[in-house]
A and B are shown apart, each in its own frame.
Chain A
Amino acid sequence: MTRRAPDVIVIGGGLHGCSTALHLARRGIRALVIEKDHVGRHASGVNAGGVRRLGRHFAEIPLSVASMEIWHSIRDLVDDDCGFESHGQIKVAENEAEFETLRRRVEDVRALGFDHEELIDARELCELVPAISTHCIGAIVCRSDGAALPYRTTLAFKRKAEALGAEVIEGECVTKVARTGPIWRVMTQTGTYEAPIIVNAAGGWADRIAAQLGEQVPLQTIALMLMITAPMAPFIKPVMGATGRPLSFKQFPNGTVLIGGGYTGKAERDHNHTTLDFAKLALSARTVWDLFPVMRGAEIVRCWAGLEGRMPDDIPVIGPSATHENAYHAFGFSAHGFQLGPIVGAILAELIATGATNLPIAPFRIDRFRV
């Protein structure tokens, strides 16, 4: 079957792959996305949907702030509001020691020149979140953070990219990547595709693609667990996190409450398989029990865990390959890549089109793992 050769092959149809394809298409550069399952099948489609700048690793803050601007007019980019709602994100402190940690954090962030994180006391916390347990003594709030619907978002990026000329192939798994002269040959179980430039956005499998480029990275595939309740009358607007224990807690407009935050099940990436660990989910449930007494009778109707790529320093790999020209990476988002999706695609497109990017991506270099 003949098709016009793409300018860029993007390996992986998650949010970062589709975002890259979209931003390339906006620059008139033709991308072919090759996805082994279907777009949004893994972490991109099943995460907690948090859209936050709050609590980011310092290296991520500039990217996150830039991405947040895109989120606030996401409809302009992808013709879909992606279910984005902005009622703020809050990270609570349950005791003095935790509050002190938060206070120092806000100082450090401000010292870097960013003012999106604000420290609030118990009184304001109670005003913003009446349902929070009274033992909480304060919090950090990012007032224009929020959340969106992950699958819908990923699909919107895919469809807009296609509308602007990108092509997306689903159900083909890239098995081999090799360079012949100026051309990359990307092989799947059913076909071979060629392009002068490739992007590795292969999520929980990205280390295998990187290895094809001679780049060994210590990526770990993890299975982050989430739970959701039956619909409840609206009682909370901001997205909640905690300081001393993992938590991501939000209520959707339809009334269901999503509980997540960092407990992992068992990941078997070769079978697209995750196993839930109820003993750990019990810890998640206990956290909610302690922080939101009104939730004690809430019903969990479903639990799940998606496959995600995690780096040992908990920040992603973004940027050019260290071993080959015309190869780029965007992976390892370590359970907090969703909000960065819109900007990462723009960064990669900028790198590919102009050779440079305005945003500081040095901390995300792939060769930081080289001993």
Chain B
Amino acid sequence: MFQRLPDVAGEMVTITVDGTPVRAATGDTVAAALLAAGFDHCRTTPVSGAPRAPYCMMGVCFDCLITIDGVGNRQGCLVRVRDGMAVELQRGKREVGR
């Protein structure tokens, strides 16, 4: 749960998360956009199915793994949002062929 400060500049775009439209700022990473939109978690682990959310935001923890435009296991904190981007939360092991 993150909120934007009041006097912050930026254009907004729309991405979808599991099909639901979500507003994000052009400078946001996918991970930041999910946190701002109030998503509780971005994936469940392949080992135990435990829910995880972004932890380090700098590309070292790999807890923000997410499927972006059909490609799985992307680090959401390293990918900037783009209008029309399709994000899917990753559940358990990555699906073969994605």
Contact = CB atoms under 8 A, between A and B. Distances in A.
Direct A–B touching in the complex (beta carbon < 8 Å)?
Answer: yes
A296 B98 CA distance: 9
Interface residues of A, number: 15
B47 A232 contact: no
Contacts of A131: 96
B98 A255 contact: no
The interface residues of chain B, by DSSP majority, are classed as loop
A332 B41 CA distance: 51
A104 B98 CA distance: 39
Nearest to A236: B96
B46 interface: yes
A296 B95 CA distance: 12
A297 interface: yes
Contacts of A231: 46-47, 93-94
Interface in A285-303: 293-297, 299
Interface residues of B, number: 12
The interface residues of chain A, by DSSP majority, are classed as loop
Interface in A219-237: 230-235
B93 A255 contact: yes
A294 B98 CA distance: 8
Contact of B93 (A233, A294, A296, A297): A233
Contacts of B97: 293-294, 296-297
Interface in B49-98: 71-73, 92-98
Nearest to B97: A294
Contacts of B72: 297
B74 to A, nearest CB: 10
A233 B95 contact: yes
A233 B47 contact: no
A297 B67 CA distance: 12
Interface of A: 131, 230-235, 254-255, 293-297, 299
Interface of B: 46-47, 71-73, 92-98
14 contacts: A230-B94, A232-B96, A233-B92, A233-B94, A233-B95, A235-B96, A254-B46, A254-B47, A255-B94, A294-B96, A294-B97, A295-B96, A297-B97, A297-B98
